[in-house]
Amino acid sequence: GKEVLARYIHQQSVRADKPFIKVNCAALSETLLESELFGHEKGAFTDARSRRIGRFELASEGTIFLDEIGDISPRLQVMLLRVLQEREFERVGGTRPIPVNVRVVAATNRNLEAAVEEGTFRQDLYYRLNVFPLSLPPLRQRPEDIGPLLYFFLKKYRHLTATTPRVAEGLVEALQVNDWPGNIREFENMVQRALVIVEDEPLGPEHFYFDVMPTKRSTFRQEKEKSQLQAIQEALEQSEGNCTRAARAMGLARTTFTSRAKKFGLI
């Protein structure tokens, strides 16, 4: 969600037609991150066989998104502070200041105020970055977003299923009670997996699997299965045991109906 929000900020600004460059500060060592951000000159170190343009230069006139900013080393904090204050930097191994005009959007899952108090994050850099703070709560605190996200991902991954998936009544409510520790990425992966296994029946809670299921979700699933059992029993009674007619009455394919009936031990 952080990158999506950063890109949205860029797209809604006067810099929208300029580059949007992202950097994951936690994914690289201090040396590699320095070269990634500021570039380097030929011969700056052993493997520097040619000049490299850094991400700040590539983002010129546009936006650079620094994800996990709370993970950068004290030395890089000093270098970043200079870029923000002086609007210039040098490539690694270089001596010529390079002016830069770029919007900086930074994100972190750390408590930077606590890091400042502990002395692991510079106070002056914190205030330079904290110009317009935005808080992005975890998905479990935004249950109202589950529905729109579900339909967005169903549209995005509709190629994974032969037919346009239908959504069973109560699915959104069932998904809203999950904790989603992996946030939107976990939710997106769950939708993809559900689309792979769903057949021609409506997409329901039974197509979503979780490592840990909250009590509310477990209760909902039990009620859902109880309701399915009752519906199948009634359909079989009305059709006098004819699975084809019972499946047609429930709007299901015969194979799907018989599979569920066998699961409940009805046939």
In this structure, the number of other CB atoms found within 10 A of the CB of residue 134 comes to 10
Half-sphere exposure of 70 (CA within 13 A, CB side): 13
In this structure, the number of other CB atoms found within 10 A of the CB of residue 233 comes to 14
- From first to last of the 267 residues of the chain, give the pLDDT tens digit: 788 899 999 999 999 999 999 999 998 889 889 989 998 888 777 777 788 888 999 999 999 999 999 999 999 999 999 999 999 988 888 888 999 999 999 999 889 999 999 999 999 999 999 998 888 888 888 889 999 999 999 999 988 877 778 899 889 998 998 888 888 889 999 999 899 888 888 898 888 876 544 444 455 556 667 777 888 888 888 888 899 888 877 767 788 788 888 888 888
Q: What is the pLDDT of residue 221?
A: 56
Residue 22 host element (H or E): strand 20-24
Q: Which residues are 107's β-sheet partners?
A: 67
Q: What is the pTM of this model?
A: 0.65
* Angstrom distance (rounded) from CA 93 to CA 33: 15
DSSP 120: S
Question: Is the distance from CB of 39 to CB of 92 less than 8 angstroms?
Answer: yes
Q: What is the pLDDT of residue 134?
A: 87
The residue whose two tokens read 């699915």 is 171
Question: Is the distance from CB of 33 to CB of 76 less than 8 angstroms?
Answer: yes
Closest by alpha carbon to 263, among 172, 201, 193? Answer: 201
Q: What is the pLDDT of residue 52?
A: 83
Q: What is the pLDDT of residue 121?
A: 95
Strand pairing class (98-99; 63-67): unpaired
User: Which amino acid, 262?
Assistant: K
* Angstrom distance (rounded) from CA 213 to CA 219: 10
DSSP 16: T
> Kindly report the CA angle at 85 between 12 and 16, in degrees rounded to 5?
15
What are the CA-CA distances from residue 125 to residues 69, 84, 96, 104 (Å)?
A: 11, 9, 23, 12
Q: What is the pLDDT of residue 102?
A: 94
- What is the edge-to-edge ordering of all strands in the sheet holding 20-24? 20-24, 63-67, 103-107
